[in-house]
Amino acid sequence: MGKNKLKRFAENATFDHVFQPVQKELVEVDHEMKGKWHSFFKNDHPITLELGCGGGEYTVDLAKRYPERNYIGIDIKGARLWKGARIAYDEKLTNIAFIRTRIHNITSFFNQEDGIDELWITFPDPQPREGKSKKRLTSLALLEKYREFAHKNCIVHLKTDSRFLFDYTLHEVIKAEGLKLHTMSEDVYQDYNSGPLVEVQTFYEKIWLKDGLKIHYLQFTLFP
């Protein structure tokens, strides 16, 4: 393991806004913050989750744009998550938290008392192999997990470079489940001139854009 990773892991442990539970413990017991996130943020503002947040680009940018909301970025990669956590610390952003965990453990952290009404899924692994379908962050199996804690009016944003994941989510999830589709774009940089969709770019998104890949977007309801 590189020195930079070790340094970032150590620094994550010093941040009050970063939560890094032992993964095995979540199998038997819920995290202590479940149902208590308003006490951490010291307000009752609604919460947005960024699932698979990577470096937390969206978590940080959205928190700056919308201080009347709280934001939690979730990723299993602590060295990536450190980037957003460090920015939040340096800029004294009080409406941000990060959790290092796998998405399949997400119900150990939240319930409906937490006020979650928005999910951002930014460039997740599309998991194209049929045997991996349940691991797709927009799979029906994971949507059922999100429904255990999210509010009935919860909105999901999917931003992806994968045409496969875009088509799968549109046809096999949104249409098959009778979910309301609010917005669809096959090329956000053609359809949008401003706003988070084009003004926030992840590390890998910048690379994909240089390679000429189109970026797709879906916004839909979580509940039928």
Q: 12-70 pLDDT, tens per residue?
A: 989 999 999 877 666 678 999 999 999 999 999 999 999 999 999 999 999 999 999 99
Residue 120 contacts residue 48 (beta carbons within 8 Å) = yes
Give the largest CA-CA distance in the chain.
49
pTM of the model: 0.95
**Is residue 214 pLDDT above 80, yes or no?**
yes
Query: How are beta strands 155-160 and 181-185 bridged, if at all?
Result: unpaired
As to burial, measured by CB atoms within 10 angstroms (0-12 exposed, 13-18 middle, 19+ buried), residue 133 is middle
**Domain parsing of the chain, residue ranges:** 3-13+42-221
| Catalytic positions | 125
Tokens of 149: 């804690």
pLDDT at 26: 67
**Is residue 72 pLDDT above 80, yes or no?**
yes
Angle of helix 78-90 relative to helix 57-65, nearest 10 degrees, comes to: 20
pLDDT at 204: 85
pLDDT at 3: 67
Q: What would be the CATH architecture of the domain defined by 3-13+42-221? A: 3-Layer(aba) Sandwich (3.40)
Query: In Å, what is the CA distance from 16 to each residue of 92, 97, 137?
Result: 12, 8, 27
Mean pLDDT, residues 128-139 taken together: 92
